[in-house]
Structure 1
Amino acid sequence: MIEKIGQVMLYVENQAAVRDFWVEKLDFVVVSEEVVNGEIQWIEIAPTKGLETSFVLQNKKKVAEMNPDMNLGTPSILLFGKNVAELYETYKNKGITVGDLVDLPIGRVFNFADIEGNYFAICEK
């Protein structure tokens, strides 16, 4: 029986740069980082430590070499937050690419892009 979602793998070109984007611009924290022989193997990030679900930044090129048939595209991810209108303005002021802030039946929503052009959405809950 599956009980929860533990980690979401994000396949990226530059793990360190993407980590820095999430940490410096979005206030995520590094939960763990595995480095072997001076090379990043993976980086786990989350909005705060102790949450059940986190992102793991994987090296897209290495994963493709190990498993050429794997889909390495970014999944469609909806994040939940509070004060989304304020967050929208904060992201714009930090120079983050954002879409329009819209009101939907599920709440206020906008999307944003990381430094590699991967889009994510955030909804007020």
Structure 2
Amino acid sequence: MINKIGQVMLYVNNQVECRDFWTEKLGFEVIAEVTQGPMSWIEIAPKGAATSIVLHSKALVAKMNPDMNLGTPSLMYFTEKFDELYCDLGNKNVKVGEIVELPTGRVFNFADNEENYFAVAEKG
């Protein structure tokens, strides 16, 4: 039986620039940088997270598997330091959306360096 999400594949145009975005702007850690033949990938995650993001080359994956959906997954991150994170990302010139009040709590979105959007929800 499946009991957790292990990795999320994120297909990007520039793996190194995306790695730098996630590590420098959001404080993620590099778990692994792997090259095997023509394939290379970079695994990143928040410190201590059970699930990681693997940055793959969109062009290479498209060449190897033309029918693959290379769209950006819709990811929702949780934080206990909602206001602090929102201000920190804005101060680092990350494109952030307005804070929205939902019945489940506050949420905002942000874009990475390739204009992929992700959401953050306040969880205390």
**What is the RMSD computed on CA atoms of the aligned residues?**
1.4
Q: Does the CA contact (< 8 Å) of 2:39 and 2:60 recur in 1?
A: no
CA–CA separation in structure 1 for the residues paired with 2:108 and 2:49: 23
Superimposed CA distance per residue, residues 5-30 of structure 1 (whole angstroms, 9 cap, x where no aligned partner): 10000000000000000000110000
Uncovered stretches (5+) of structure 2, i.e. residues with no partner = none
Q: Which amino acid aligns with 2:110?
A: F
Count of paired positions: 123
CA–CA separation in structure 1 for the residues paired with 2:93 and 2:46: 20
Q: Does the CA contact (< 8 Å) of 1:32 and 1:44 recur in 2?
A: yes
Deviation at 1:93, TM superposition (A): 0.8
CA–CA separation in structure 2 for the residues paired with 1:40 and 1:67: 13
TM-score with structure 2 length normalisation?
0.94
- 1:105 aligns to what? 103
- 2:42 aligns to what? 43
Task: Calculate percent identity across the aligned residue pairs.
Answer: 60
CA–CA separation in structure 2 for the residues paired with 1:51 and 1:93: 25
Deviation at 1:40, TM superposition (A): 6.8
Superimposed CA distance per residue, residues 12-52 of structure 1 (whole angstroms, 9 cap, x where no aligned partner): 00000000000001100001111357x7700000011x421
- 1:84 aligns to what? 82
Which 4+ runs in 1 deviate beyond 2 A? none
Superimposed CA distance per residue, residues 69-97 of structure 1 (whole angstroms, 9 cap, x where no aligned partner): 00000011101111212211111111000
- 2:118 aligns to what? 120
